[in-house]
C-alpha cells in the first residue's frame, strides 16, 4: 500500500467518524426528548426491560467483524451517556442553581444585605428560656455591633422528654428584644401551621436539620414573605440539600440562606462532621448565601473558633454560633454553648479575621 492509498483510507475513516458523531448526537436528541416526556408522565428515565431488548437487537443484527459482546459493551456506554444527559438537564433546571441565575442572591434582613461579600455572625442562645436570659445575650451582641440574634422557641429535640421550648411565648420574647435592641431575630419553625404566625414576630424563619425534607413545611415557607434559613439535614447529600431549597424557591420565596451544620459520619470526636467543602460547592452550584453553624457541627466549645476560621477561609457568607449567659444551667445544648466571656473572645478573634460588624463598617 502506497502513501496515497494510506491517506485515502485515513480520510475515509475520518468521514465515518464524523458520520458516527452526527448519528450519536442525533440519537442523543431523541433520547433527551424521550426522557423529557417520560418525566412529564412521572416515569423513570431508565427502563431495564427496554434496554435488554435493545442489546439483543444489536447482537441479532451484528454481522461482524466485532463480537456481539464487544458491541453490546459499546452500546451500553452509549445508553448510559444518554441517561446522564437527562440527569444534567434536571440539575440545569433547578431554580437555585447558578446555571439558572449567575449572580449572587442577596437576602435583605432589615439593614443587613446577607450575601453581599461581608461575613456576618448570627448568634444567640440555643433556646429562649426567659426574657432576662435572652436580653443578656442581645445586649452583648449589641455591644459588639452584631445585629442578628438567634433563639429557639420551638425545639425539635431528639428525646420527647427534653425541653421543647417556650413556643409562641418564646417568639414574643424575641419580638420584644428585637424592638428594644434593634436586632433582627431568627427562630426555628417546625410546623407549617406556625409559619404565618411567626411572620409577626421574627425577621428570618429557620428550618432545622431534622425538618430539611419536611416538604409541607418547605412549601409553606416558600409562600412566606420572610427570608428562610435552611439547615442541611444531618444525613442529607448536597444534592438533597439543594432540592430542599428548590421546594422553597419553586413555591415563590427566593430569599433563602443555606446553612451547613455538619453531617453524621462514623467519627465520634465531634457531634457531627463539619463538611467544610460543602461551602464552596454550594457557592459554586447555587446563587444563595451559605452559612456555617459551628455550634451544632462540632458540638465542642474548643472547636468553635478554628471551625469558624475555616468557614470564613472557604468563603462562607456567615456563621452561626450559640451563646448563653450561663451554659451550665441551659435547658438545651449545655456542652457547646459559649458563655458571654468566651463569646467576647470568639468575636474579637474573628473580627481580626474579617468578621463584619456595625463597628467596623
Joined grid coordinates for residue 326: 450561663
Q: How far apart are CA 37 and CA 45, in angstroms?
A: 9
Closer residue to Mn ion in complex, CB, 25/158: 158
Looking at beta carbons only, is 192 or 299 nearer to Mn ion?
299
Is 126 or 263 the residue whose CB approaches Mn ion more closely? 126
Q: How far is the CB of 93 from Mn ion (least distance, A)?
A: 35
Tell me how far apart the alpha carbons of residues 79 and 211 are, in angstroms, rounded to a whole number. Answer: 37
286: which 3 cell numbers? 447555587
Task: At 102, give phi and psi (nearest 5°).
Answer: -75, -40
Q: Do residues 51 and 79 touch, judged by C-beta distance below 8 A?
A: yes
Bond prior to 231 in cis (omega within 30° of 0): no
Angle among Cα 227, 346, 298 to the nearest 5 degrees reads: 70
Shortest approach of Mn ion to residue 38 CB, angstroms?
Answer: 44
Treating both helix axes as pointing N-terminal to C-terminal, what angle do 68-93 and 3-40 enclose, rounded to 10 degrees?
50
Give me the residues that bind Mn ion (CB under 5 A), please: 126, 333
Considering only CA atoms, which of 223, 230, 164, 179 is closest in space to residue 199? 223
Q: How far is the CB of 126 from Mn ion (least distance, A)?
A: 3
Smallest separation (angstroms) from Mn ion to the CB of 347: 19
Nearer to Mn ion, 61 or 158 (CB): 158
Closer to Mn ion by Cβ: residue 126 or 355: 126
Q: Which residues contact 283 (CB under 8 A, 6 or more apart)?
A: 290, 315
Q: How far is the CB of 296 from Mn ion (least distance, A)?
A: 6
Mention every residue, 6+ apart, whose C-beta is less than 8 A from residue 247: 215, 218, 219, 222
- Residue 126 or residue 257: which is nearer to Mn ion going by CB? 126
In whole angstroms, the minimum distance from the beta carbon of 295 to Mn ion comes to 6
How far apart are CB 332 and Mn ion at their closest, in Å? Answer: 6
Taking the least distance from each CB to Mn ion, the nearer of 45 and 122 is 122
Helix (H) or strand (E) holding 340: helix 340-352
Amino acid at each position: 500500500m502506497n502513501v496515497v492509498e494510506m491517506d485515502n483510507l485515513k480520510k475515509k475513516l475520518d468521514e465515518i467518524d464524523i458520520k458516527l458523531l452526527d448519528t450519536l448526537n442525533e440519537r442523543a436528541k431523541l433520547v433527551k426528548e424521550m426522557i423529557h416526556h417520560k418525566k412529564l408522565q412521572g416515569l423513570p428515565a431508565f427502563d431495564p426491560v427496554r434496554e435488554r431488548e435493545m442489546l439483543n437487537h444489536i447482537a441479532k443484527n451484528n454481522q461482524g467483524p466485532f463480537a456481539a459482546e464487544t458491541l453490546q459493551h459499546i452500546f451500553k456506554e452509549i445508553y448510559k451517556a444518554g441517561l446522564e444527559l437527562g440527569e444534567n438537564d434536571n440539575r440545569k433546571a433547578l431554580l437555585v442553581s447558578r446555571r439558572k441565575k449567575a449572580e449572587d442572591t442577596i437576602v435583605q434582613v432589615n439593614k443587613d444585605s446577607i450575601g453581599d461579600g461581608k461575613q456576618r455572625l448570627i448568634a444567640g442562645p440555643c433556646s429562649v428560656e426567659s426574657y432576662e436570659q435572652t436580653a443578656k445575650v442581645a445586649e452583648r451582641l449589641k455591644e459588639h455591633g452584631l445585629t442578628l440574634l438567634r433563639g429557639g422557641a420551638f425545639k425539635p429535640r431528639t428525646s420527647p422528654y427534653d425541653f421543647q421550648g417556650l413556643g409562641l411565648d418564646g417568639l414574643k420574647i424575641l419580638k420584644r428584644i428585637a424592638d428594644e435592641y434593634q436586632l433582627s431575630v431568627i427562630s426555628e419553625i417546625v410546623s407549617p401551621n406556625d409559619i404565618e404566625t411567626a411572620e409577626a414576630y421574627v425577621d428570618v424563619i429557620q428550618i432545622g436539620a431534622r425538618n430539611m425534607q419536611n416538604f409541607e413545611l418547605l412549601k409553606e415557607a416558600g409562600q412566606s414573605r420572610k427570608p428562610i434559613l435552611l439547615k442541611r439535614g444531618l444525613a442529607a447529600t448536597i444534592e438533597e440539600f439543594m432540592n430542599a431549597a428548590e421546594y422553597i424557591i419553586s413555591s415563590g420565596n427566593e430569599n433563602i440562606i443555606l446553612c451547613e451544620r455538619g453531617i453524621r459520619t462514623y467519627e465520634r470526636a465531634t457531634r457531627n462532621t463539619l463538611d467544610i467543602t460543602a461551602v464552596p460547592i454550594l457557592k459554586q452550584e447555587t446563587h444563595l448565601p451559605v452559612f456555617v453553624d459551628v455550634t451544632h457541627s462540632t458540638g465542642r466549645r474548643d472547636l468553635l473558633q478554628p471551625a469558624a476560621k475555616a468557614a470564613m477561609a472557604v468563603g462562607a457568607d456567615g456563621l452561626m454560633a450559640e451563646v448563653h449567659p450561663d451554659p451550665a444551667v441551659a435547658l438545651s445544648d449545655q456542652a457547646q454553648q459559649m458563655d458571654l466571656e468566651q463569646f467576647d473572645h470568639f468575636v474579637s478573634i474573628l473580627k481580626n479575621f474579617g468578621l463584619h460588624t456595625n463597628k467596623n463598617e
